[in-house]
Chains A and B, each alone.
Chain A
Amino acid sequence: MLKVLNPGFFATIQDLGRTGFLAFGVPQAGALDDYACRAANLLAGNDENAPLLELTMFGGEYEFCADTLIALAGADMAAELDGAPLGNWSSRRVKKGQKLALSFAGSGCRAYLAVAGGFKIAKTMGSCSTHTRSGIGGMEGRPLRKGDLLPMAESAGGQEKNLPGELKPTAVPPLLRVLPGPQADAFSGDVFAVLESEEYLIEADSDRMGYRLRGPSLKHKAGADIISDALISGGVQAPGSGQPIIMLNDCQTTGGYTKLCFVVSPDLPLLAQCRPGDRIKFRAVTEEESLLALEEYKGRLARLREFAKEKTPARLWRLTVSSKRYDIEIEEVYK
């Protein structure tokens, strides 16, 4: 069990999301930062889709009721295990009774905490992802509360790992690549020139459903309403105000506003780490550019999986004794 001593600002159980139920109006939900979710699970020796915790802005405090291996990825919340700093994008073995405290995110918005074997939560419609508005998934379809006990597998361990720098996302203000959408011609003038012209501010009333933006207004030719059709994460729609909203994983499955464009999937993890008050920029790309972006992301995921499979490399030391050089290999060995 993992005991929730303090759930922080907003903590939910997520996996890679619910599929097969959009036709019934059930949103996909799932970890907003696909990359960090996969990284945390892989570092913990799990399947990439295993249920883990998504912590928002302020992580909270948790007690382990069994020995296990844990992994942290995503936003750095200055984690401490019984008061000792714990690296982000890494996995560590923890002992029964140890307490993990996570503070405010220095940068980024969402941290992921995976435990070896994943949380043992019953699936709802094929997934453990929490969708709070529908009241399904995770812990009774709601955010975690103080006192919650999350069942988890007991694990003898596994290898502790630190993700190398080149596999960690770089913290830069995101430039989001977008593909023009089906209703782009419902906007007047050179709407993409307007969209690309300045930064957009992420408004305070943004959440897992979507980010409301404030910036240059996107003008419609004749109204913002269309016959309701599908909404998916990454979709950028503009209601009558002309201020865009980027839909995220918890968004309703259908909606009736014009959709100007779609953020390419590989940029959604960057967006997921933005918080209210952050500024983002857009850049329209071609179909070809979006395919290249997908290829690049696929490559990163392949390297992440490769790293997770590797044993921690031995460290090499070079000693010189009486002008004689010795190469020594030091390997961490766990019982």
Chain B
Amino acid sequence: MSFAFKILTTGDRAVAVEFGAAIDEKINARVHLLARFFAGERPCPGIVDIVPTYRSLSLIFDPFVLSKKELCGLIETYIAANRDMFAEASFTRVSHTVKIPVCYGGEFGPDLAAVALHSGLSEDEVVNIHSAVKYKVYMLGFLPGFPYLGGLDERIACPRLKTPRTNVPAGSVGIAASQTGVYPVDSPGGWQLIGRTPQRIFDKNRGKPFMVQPGDMIEFVPVGKEEYNRLLAETAVKKC
């Protein structure tokens, strides 16, 4: 299988290596393959940070230590030396399925009715469709630990709210266009909220602050309010 990439200039201290212009598992796998090369043990001094996204890897560098030219050379050499690996790239962290309990509707999902109305389905059908799929984590971004997921059933896709809420509680599960996701922290937001999880996908005080990582699969498991409250209490105890 062949593949293409281009290195784009994004200011005087960053470049982006773009592997395509689509949300696609192969393209995303190449992004994370290159990310692994630059993550952890840095291959050279001057790499400050990396941002793997759906279809590109941004590399932020210290221009006083490493020149853009040197960095571009390093990227090209690495990809050229590993062409077969990049061509065949696949990226699923085997057996990393994260189950996220969600209490749908009611006070936790104030927009479930609106999503149902927009889809021409009942609320139960929306919940069934939303919780039937395993979603792939393509990238983290936006806010700490927020997973960008692929795989939302188009039947329940729904536009963002016209006027965003000034505060969406952490744990809220929402839909925006063809995306679904979980709010990691309290934040303003315009997603249609259909439920809430008692689990914290980001907790700075936890040994592992981020619950999911790119390559993981996420499954939403419907729970009732009692179960939600029991799990919430458990989460609170664990924190102490």
Chain B binds chain A: yes
- Which residues on A are within 8 Å of B, measured CB to CB? 19-26, 28, 124-125, 133-136, 141, 179-182, 227-230, 232, 234-235, 252-255, 259, 262-265, 287, 290-291, 293-294, 298
Q: Which residue of B lies closest to A131 (CB)?
A: B144
User: Which among B12, B39, B64, B202 is the interface contact of A23 at CB below 8 angstroms?
Assistant: B39
A230 pairs with B16, CB closer than 8 A: yes
Given the interface pairs A135-B185, A181-B11, the reply to whether A24 lies near B145 with Cβ below 8 Å is yes
Q: How does the 8 Å CB contact mask read for B172-189 relative to A, with 1 for contact and 0 for none?
A: 000000000000111100
CB < 8 Å neighbour of A182 from B9, B13, B139: B9
Closest chain B CB from A222 CB (angstroms): 13
In the complex, the answer to whether B142 meets A262 with C-beta atoms within 8 Å is no
* Contact in complex: B11, A262 (CB < 8 Å): yes
DSSP class of A's interface residues: helix, strand, loop or mixed?
mixed
Contact yes or no, B58 A230, CB < 8 A:
yes
| Contact yes or no, B10 A136, CB < 8 A | no
Quick check: is B91 within 8 A (CB to CB) of the other chain?
Answer: no
- Residue B135 at the chain A interface, CB threshold 8 Å: no
Please pick, from B12, B50, B56, the residue contacting A179 in the complex, using a CB distance under 8 A. Answer: B12
Are B53 and A25 in touch, CB under 8 angstroms?
no
Distance between B172 CB and nearest chain A CB, rounded to angstroms: 15
Give chain B nearest CB distance to A261 CB in angstroms.
8
Chain B 194-240 residues near chain A, CB threshold 8 A: 202, 204, 209-210
CA distance A252 to B187 in the complex (A): 12
| Residue of B52, B53, B68 with most partner-chain A CB within 10 A | B53
Q: Residue B63 at the A interface, CB < 8 A? A: yes
Contact status of A230 and B12, CB under 8 A, knowing A23-B39, A23-B140, A25-B184: no
Complex contact B10–A259 (CB within 8 A): yes
- Is A28's CB under 8 angstroms from B142's CB? no
B22 interface residue, CB < 8 Å from A?
A: yes
Most chain A beta carbons < 10 A, residue from B9, B55, B68, B184:
B9
**Docked-complex contact A181 and B184, CB < 8 angstroms:** no
The answer to whether A134 and B56 have CB atoms under 8 Å apart is: no
Closest to B31 in A: A229
B:82-120 near A, CB below 8 Å: none
Task: Write out the residue numbers on chain B whose beta carbons fall within 8 Å of the beta carbon of A229.
Answer: 16, 51, 53-56, 58
Q: Is B74 an interface residue (CB 8 A)?
A: no
Q: Is the CB of A265 within 8 A of B63?
A: yes
Find chain A residues with CB under 8 A from B164 CB.
none
* Cβ contacts B140-162/A at 8 Å (1 or 0 each): 11111110100000000000000
Q: How far is the CB of A198 from chain B (nearest CB, A)?
A: 23
A25-B142 contact in complex given A182-B16, A227-B21, A229-B53, C-beta closer than 8 Å: yes
Tell me the bound Cα distance from A290 to B21 in angstroms: 28
**CB closest residue in chain A, given B67:** A291
The answer to whether B140 touches A134, judged by C-beta atoms less than 8 angstroms apart, is: no
Partner of B187, one of A24, A125, A133, A228: A133
Chain B residues, Cβ within 8 Å of A22: 49-51, 60
Which residues from chain A contact B132 at a C-beta distance below 8 Å? none
Residues of chain A within 8 A (CB-CB) of B139 are 228, 254
B141 & A133 in contact (Cβ 8 Å cutoff): no
- In the complex, what residue of chain A is closest to B148 when comparing beta carbons? A228
24 CB-based A-B contacts, threshold 8 Å: A19-B48, A19-B60, A22-B50, A23-B35, A23-B50, A25-B145, A26-B144, A133-B143, A133-B187, A134-B202, A179-B12, A181-B10, A182-B16, A227-B53, A228-B142, A230-B53, A232-B11, A232-B51, A252-B141, A254-B148, A262-B12, A264-B11, A287-B9, A293-B12
The answer on a CB contact under 8 Å between A25 and B143 is yes
Q: List the A side residues contacting B209 at CB < 8 Å.
A: 24, 125
Distance in angstroms from B42 CB to nearest chain A CB is: 10
